[in-house]
Amino acid sequence: MAGVPANSPDKNALALAILRIAVGVLFLIFAEYKVVGTQFTLHGGFQFWINRFLQDGAYPFMRPVLTNVVLPYATPLAFLVAYGELAIGLSLVSGVLVRAASFSGLLFMLSLLFSANYPGANAPLWQYFGASLEHSVLALCFLAFLVGRSETSLSLASFRSKRVSA
């Protein structure tokens, strides 16, 4: 992109696309052991994490949801998480259905944030943000993919449109 101003839409789309692809690769890595193996989906891995969230860091309003909704349906939800992460990763890497994947990813990150990152009732405000970094940063990335147009660069559609116009 020689000769393109640093603040041009093309540079911004490229930067957002690189971030989109990097987050997609992370989600493919997250999904790999869940989809390929059976520990997470069929042998208690998902339940282990939900029980750990309940023990260590669920927001008070999420406790009944985790206990009464998530745990009774742990196996189907474990498959939903595993294949959802795979779908989000494939979507972000390919640039196909980015907004749908980003909306799903944002909901997923907010669910994890409120399930796992409660710093305690008496924590100062900054600790709420500090405790949530592992999920809030990815949530912000998904929000950027929702608002921006990262699929205009480094995506299957952008490669296809360049081949058709050439």
Structural domains in the chain (count):
1
Band (pLDDT 50/70/90 cuts) for residue 159 is confident
Q: Which residue in the block uniquely carries the two structure tokens 């949801």? A: 65
The verdict on residue 7 lying in a domain is: no
Range of the domain at 148: 12-165
Residue 110, token pair as written in the block: 């907010």
1 in a structural domain: no
Cα–Cα distance for residue pair 23/105, rounded to 1 Å: 10
Q: Is 123 helix (H, G, I), strand (E, B) or coil?
A: coil
Contacts of 105 (CB under 8 A, 6+ apart): 23, 27, 88, 92, 138, 139, 142, 145
Question: Region 125-129: what's the mean pLDDT?
Answer: 90
Does residue 33 have a pLDDT over 90? yes
Q: What is the pLDDT of residues 52-88, one digit of tens each?
A: 999 988 999 999 999 999 999 999 999 999 999 999 9
pLDDT surpassing 70 at residue 102: yes
Domain-embedded: residue 4:
no
For residue 6, the model assigns a pLDDT of 57
| Residue 100, in any domain of the structure | yes
- Whole-number mean pLDDT of the chain? 91
pLDDT of the residue at 1: 47
Residue 86, in any domain of the structure: yes
Separation CA 90–CA 58 (nearest Å): 29
Residue 95 near residue 155, CB atoms below 8 Å: yes
pLDDT of 29 > 90? The answer is: yes
| 164 pLDDT above the threshold of 90 | no
Of all residues in the chain, the percent with pLDDT exceeding 70 is 92
